Each structure stands twice: as structure tokens, then as C-alpha cells.
Structure 1
Amino acid sequence: MDTSRQTAYRQNLKGLIIDVAMQCFYSNGIRNVKMDDIAKKLQISKRTLYELYANKEELLLAGLKRDESAFEAQLQLFADKKAHNAMEVVMKFFQMQMKRLATINPCFFMDLHKYGNVVAYLETIHAERNIRSIKFFQAGIKEDIFLKNLDYELISKLCDEMIRGAMEKEIYRVYGLQHIFQNIITVFVRGFATKKGLEVVDKYLESGNLNGSLF
């Protein structure tokens, strides 16, 4: 096999490994999935797997980076359409999050904190997202979608703390992640929406289609 074909093969294999690994991590939690399990599912040797990904954390980090990049690209594509106002983008974001939560075992989130490099990466993208969200809220105020004179940085932090608290108290075992997330964002979003913004929120909530296409 020539060098170019070998490189292409390795890249394709790396992508396939990420596909299988993330599916396993999301379904079963991270701790419950061994590198051996992934190798067996792919019918490749452990040596081949470890040549491409030195350990589970490296593989997990690669998978999260890929999935977060795809998530952001999809949201940006929606936001770039001029027909969509700021509230529609907010609701699209929450809808995408709930669709994602429907496929993830809560154990996945509980296991994440055990991987330092992963935690550092998630903290970085979370901080970057918060910076973008403040600018976004400012744009929404100009559109008369969001209320003026509110501290949106504080609101974002409070929402984060409520979600974090729900995870730490493990109340998702009773209510489910989607149900918790829906109730939290409904209260928060309606709280900072203008009359114009509420029309968008109500349209979304009345549709009752959390996993479907919005707008």
C-alpha cells in the first residue's frame, strides 16, 4: 500500500473508531466501555487501536471535538439565515440540545469529570460560548426579542448552575434529562423574552415536537 493510500486508510479508520466509540460512550457511559470493547466491535486488533489513540481519554477528546464542531456548524448554518431572529436561534439551540440528550446515558456526563484534558476542553468551549451568547443577547435586545436591563451573563450562569445541580443531585433518575432541561429553559427563556419573543417561544412549545424540525 502506497503512502497516500495508507494515510487515507488510517484517517478513515480513525473516523470509524470515533463513530463506534462515541456511540458506546453515549449509550453506556464512559467508564463502562473499555478500549478492548471498541476494538472487538470494529474487529481490529488492540495494537491498531492504541497506535491511533493512545488511551480512552484521547479517543473521548477527539470524539467530543468532532461532535461539538458539528453541533456548532449546524447551529451557525441556521443562525446565518436572515429570516431567523435571535429567539428562533435560541430555541433551535435548545431543541438541538434536547435531541442530543435523548441519545445520551446520564452516566456519560457523570463520568466526564474523571478526564482532566476533557474537562479543560469543555470549560474552554463553554467560556467561548458564553462570550458569544452575551453578544447574541445584545443583538436580540436590538431586535426587541429580549428584555432590556437584565444581566444576561448572570442569567447564563444561573441556568448553568441549575443544570449542574440537577446532575449532581441525580434527579435525572426520576425525571429524565430531557424533561429537566425543557422545564429549566422554558422558565428562563420566557423570563427574559419580550412580547415579540414570547410569540416565538409559544410557537415552539405548542408544537410539542422537541426532536423535530423547528422553522
Structure 2
Amino acid sequence: MPNKASVETKILEAAYKLFLQKGYRQTTMDDIAQALAMSKKTLYKYYPGKMELLGASFEVTKTKLTAKVEAIVDNRYISFPLKLKSTLTVMASLLGPINPELFEDLREHAPDIWEDLTQYINQSAYTRFNKLLEQGKKEGLVVPSVNIQLVVLLYATAVQSLMDPKFIGKFPESIQKGVQIPPAALYDQAISIIYNGILTEEARKEFENA
């Protein structure tokens, strides 16, 4: 018989997949139970409702993101440009699949989870990217005149804006159409532009080849 933790993990994985596909509003507890081949009564034994499932799903995502990024930043055996590239890849792979519709659902129907997630991203941007950029500056791989704190704020602002369909909706339709690419690609390109702009020529070449 599977233990409680393994069942909870399977439930969260199934729920998160559906939230990504259909958004929060369009996903029902029936959908989640059906995806798990589980009765709704059994599902409710583990989670009292859809909101609790949503919150727990994002907690798992944040935990994964923190662990992966910290492992990269603290690794003494890989170069700064590779750390930068790897960090961007991790961020894009975990946050990129979260489409704007789901973020809109979060803000409208789960404001506490939305606030917690945006606060986490901002704090993560500050603590981990600031540390990484300081390391790059010490190694002479970040342009000396660059204000690192400003770069961190640019990073956090870019991420938050790209997650916000209301922000993107303020721009002319021609610009909106131009960024209608998969969220992961959009996210990855935007942050790569920022970091390519702050690296020295030597670091840029290594970044491109990483």
C-alpha cells in the first residue's frame, strides 16, 4: 500500500499539470480525481479543496526552484558563465510553463497565493542572483560599471511583468503579437538579453558556448 507522502506527491503532480493546461478556474476536483483514477471522496481525504491543492502545488515548485538554483550558485567547480546559463535554464524550465492565464486566475481568485509567489520570485531574484552577480564581478566577468542591484531589480521586474497579461495588454497589438511565443522561450530570451548586456566580452563568449 503506498504511503501518504507518495500519494500526496502524485496528487500534486496531477493537479499541477491540469492547472498548467486548463488554468485554475477551469480545473475541477472531478478532473483531478479522474486524472488519478481516484474517487473524489479519496481525493478529499488528502486535500480539502482545489485552493489547497493550488497552494501546495506552488510550494513544491518553489522548493524545487530554490534547491536547483542554490546548488548551481554554490557549486565551486563550474564557471560563472555556466552558472548563469544553468540558472536561467532552471528558472525558465520551472516558471516558463506557467501560462499567463493561470497567473491571471491566481491574481483574481487566489490573491494570497499570487502575492506569495511574486514575493518569493522577488526575494529569490535578490538573494540568489545578487550573490551570483557579485561573484561574477569579483572574477572580472561582469562589466565593472554595472550596478548589480539595478540588474537584480530589472530581472525581477521583467519576470513579474511577463507573468502579467494586464501589463502586456497595455501595449499596441503589434507588440503583443510579437511576444506571442511559448512562455518559457519568452522568459528565457528576456533574461538572457539582460545578462548578455552586463557580461564582459570574454564571459559573453563563454556564456554563448555554455
With normalisation by structure 1, the TM-score equals: 0.78
Distance (Å, rounded) in 1 between the aligned partners of 2:192 and 2:128: 21
1:161 matched residue in structure 2: 157
2:182 matched residue in structure 1: 176
1:199 matched residue in structure 2: 205
Distance (Å, rounded) in 1 between the aligned partners of 2:134 and 2:200: 13
Judged with a 3 Å threshold, the aligned counterparts in structure 2 of structure 1 residues 202 and 64 are, in CA distance, closer, same or farther, namely same
Distance (Å, rounded) in 1 between the aligned partners of 2:18 and 2:146: 42
Distance (Å, rounded) in 1 between the aligned partners of 2:113 and 2:161: 20
2:139 matched residue in structure 1: 143
2:10 matched residue in structure 1: 16
1:213 matched residue in structure 2: none
Q: What displacement does 1:184 show?
A: 1.5
Identity of aligned residues (%): 21
Q: Gaps spanning 5+ residues in structure 1: where?
A: 205-215
Where do residues 94-173 of structure 1 align in structure 2 (5 Å cutoff)? 94-100=88-94, 103-113=97-107, 114-129=109-124, 130-166=126-162, 167-168=164-165, 169=168, 171=176
Q: Deviations over 1:156-175 (max 9, x none)?
A: 22233334444422537723
Judged with a 3 Å threshold, the aligned counterparts in structure 2 of structure 1 residues 9 and 186 are, in CA distance, closer, same or farther, namely closer
More divergent stretch after superposition (10-19 vs 166-175): 166-175
Judged with a 3 Å threshold, the aligned counterparts in structure 2 of structure 1 residues 103 and 164 are, in CA distance, closer, same or farther, namely closer
Q: Is the 8 A contact 1:61 1:117 kept in 2?
A: no
More divergent stretch after superposition (79-88 vs 24-33): 79-88
Distance (Å, rounded) in 2 between the aligned partners of 1:165 and 1:80: 28
Judged with a 3 Å threshold, the aligned counterparts in structure 2 of structure 1 residues 119 and 20 are, in CA distance, closer, same or farther, namely same
1:46 paired to 2:40: yes
What is the CA RMSD across the aligned residues, in angstroms?
2.5
Q: Deviations over 1:7-48 (max 9, x none)?
A: x63322211110110111112222211112111222323232
Distance (Å, rounded) in 2 between the aligned partners of 1:66 and 1:164: 20
Name the amino acid aligned to 2:145. Answer: N
Distance (Å, rounded) in 1 between the aligned partners of 2:155 and 2:74: 25
Q: Deviations over 1:71-114 (max 9, x none)?
A: 32233333343221233212111122333466444422222213
Name the amino acid aligned to 2:190. Answer: I
